[in-house]
Structure 1
Amino acid sequence: MEGASAKGVLSQLSLLEVQARSRKTQPQQQSRARELKAKREALTIQRDQLKAQIETHKSLQKLRASMDKQCTHEEEEEMEEDSENSQLLRLMARHTQLKDLLHAHHIIGGYNVIKTRQGKGVCVSLATAYEGVYLETYNLEIELKPRLRISRHNIPPFIPLNSLAEQSNMKSDMRTFLDTLSQHLNAFVGRKQQLKLVKELHKSVEVMESNVLCSLLVMMFTVPREKTAVLCTLDYTDHTKCLPTRVHFECEDKELSDSPVWKRNCSLLTQTPVHKALITMRKMGNIV
């Protein structure tokens, strides 16, 4: 009888231990389930966007081919079935056609150059763009006679124009100088455009600090569940790039910045434009 009683007590203790373990693991499983659900939803959205982009790309490719062949009468009639969509596709196709021409113009070294001072100088225009959108155009006037020098320009003062001219040996290799200068300008307007998009698209993210070169960006995030504030610093030490070389997080919760989730966020911010990285972080539930 005593043996049977002992076995009954041990069975009861074992059952209680299993129940206690189950209660401990349940919150972890729920948290993991929420994370996987958010990831699934983000991937579903991305899949649907890619499908729509593929269909649009196929239609544009077909229309571009017909436009390059100057469009036969039969092809035009085929596109008239859906007037609104066909007009939009024609505009998009024309836009991509012009972009390709401009890109080809740049590839062959085609900076826009105008003679000035009755042939004694030239004015060079450098157009800048980010994500397919053309932004500011900068100009510099170069005297050819009596000696080669930059006489006038509207290059921002924080771009080291004279240093770039010396390093690239402008007098003997004008193309390298212009390419290097264009790289600096495009990186600057790219960082500037990203800052603008952060302010427009992410009202919950507070921009605490930035500089005229847009080489430093400090933002304040809020972590949803803990309502914890996180200070994020992006440092763009390479002024020819649009992506930061260093990302640093500061938070009262010291363990948060060392967690796997925020380490992934750090990698994301160094590999993806900041306005796009913030969209991903919000979809994954890492920031408000």
Structure 2
Amino acid sequence: MLDILAETRAISTPQSDQVDVRTTLLKERVKTLQDILGAYHFTGISAKVRELNSTNTFCISTAYEGIYLDSYYLDIQMQHPRKIISHNIPAFIPLEQTAHTHLQQDLLRFMDVLRDALNAYASRRYQVEQLQKLHTASLIGQLQRNAAYNVLKFRYQILCGDMEQDVQVKVVYRHLACYLPTGVTLTCSGADAESVNAKLDCHRQLFEKMELYRVFDSLKLQEELAVSSGIHSTLHSSHTPSCQ
């Protein structure tokens, strides 16, 4: 669909009525394409279409639950073979591989794949920032992560009987387009395996199904309910699932 942008470069001063017609048709097609890209902007992708220039600027905006995060730009030469002239895409995003697979055949698919990876990265980073902002007191030491925020390591404490035990967490997102973990490992050294296993399994399920900071929201809420309900939480524990 975007191929028509490259065609405009080949148009010179009209020499005949036939060229005039071709120019008019191409301008109409570019106007239609601009309208389509305007609608596509709601997906987080927009473009500056330059009618007589074969290089166009594309913008990918990232957001998390309606909160704007970042924007990334690519200047793409539209004439075949298409070529990325400049960009600010992070190095860990496989831009060259994605371009090799999609850029020449389907430009919109190429942009979709990039948008998914960039949006997931921005979402993972936002989750870590919120975790550190809202639950600093729950974490022990520094959270470790890589540039793509798809491998995270941190520690927090759980109560086992009358003793507090450190839990070491490793969270992995095996695909760059994931915003929820695909692998979670929890280890608690120095604690009796039988007494802590059920609790760790419950925590693991929360990490796999919820955003990082919301896991600690949930654990904090359960802790507050357990404290406030006192003896009643024990009497009804068989009816109310809890990770405490």
Normalised by the size of structure 1, how large is the TM-score?
0.59
- Residue in 1 aligned with 2:205? 267
Pair 1:134 & 2:71 matched: no
Pair 1:277 & 2:211 matched: no
Pair 1:248 & 2:185 matched: yes
Map residues 135-174 of structure 1 onto 2, 5 A cutoff.
135-145=69-79, 147-167=81-101, 169-174=102-107
Displacement, 1:267? Answer: 0.8
Say whether the 8 Å CA contact 1:218–1:232 is kept in structure 2: yes
Displacement, 1:110? Answer: 7.6
Q: Please give the secondary structure, in 2, of the residue aligned with 1:227.
A: strand
| Alignment RMSD (CA, Å) | 2.5
Q: What CA deviation, in whole Å up to 9, does each residue of 1:22-64 have, x standing for no partner?
A: xxxxxxxxxxxxxxxxxxxxxxxxxxxxxxxxxxxxxxxxxxx
Displacement, 1:120? Answer: 1.4
Displacement, 1:282? Answer: 2.0
One-letter code of the match for 1:218?
Answer: K
Pair 1:208 & 2:143 matched: yes
- Residue in 1 aligned with 2:9? none
- Residue in 1 aligned with 2:239? none
With 173-182 and 221-230 compared, the bigger mean Cα shift is at 221-230
Displacement, 1:217? Answer: 1.0
Say whether the 8 Å CA contact 2:199–2:243 is kept in structure 1: no
Distance 1:106 1:149 in 2: 22
Sort the Cα spacing of 1:107 and 1:142 in 2 relative to 1 into closer, same or farther, 3 A.
closer
Say whether the 8 Å CA contact 1:170–1:177 is kept in structure 2: yes
Displacement, 1:117? Answer: 9.5
State percent identity of aligned pairs: 23
Question: Unaligned regions of 5+ residues in structure 1, if any?
Answer: 1-103
Sort the Cα spacing of 1:132 and 1:110 in 2 relative to 1 into closer, same or farther, 3 A.
closer
Q: Please give the secondary structure, in 1, of the residue aligned with 2:217.
A: helix
Pair 1:235 & 2:172 matched: yes
Say whether the 8 Å CA contact 2:44–2:62 is kept in structure 1: no
Say whether the 8 Å CA contact 1:219–1:233 is kept in structure 2: yes
- Residue in 2 aligned with 1:198? 131
Distance 2:192 2:69 in 1: 41
Distance 2:178 2:192 in 1: 31
Sort the Cα spacing of 1:228 and 1:258 in 2 relative to 1 into closer, same or farther, 3 A.
closer
Distance 1:231 1:142 in 2: 45
Normalised by the size of structure 2, how large is the TM-score?
0.69
Distance 1:153 1:183 in 2: 17
Greater helix fraction, Structure 1 or Structure 2: 1
Distance 2:166 2:176 in 1: 29
Question: Over alpha carbons, which structure has the higher Rg?
Answer: 1
Displacement, 1:113? Answer: 1.0
Distance 1:146 1:262 in 2: 55
Sort the Cα spacing of 1:256 and 1:266 in 2 relative to 1 into closer, same or farther, 3 A.
farther
- Residue in 2 aligned with 1:186? 119
Distance 2:66 2:93 in 1: 23
One-letter code of the match for 1:220?
Answer: R
- Number of equivalent positions: 184
One-letter code of the match for 2:178?
Answer: K
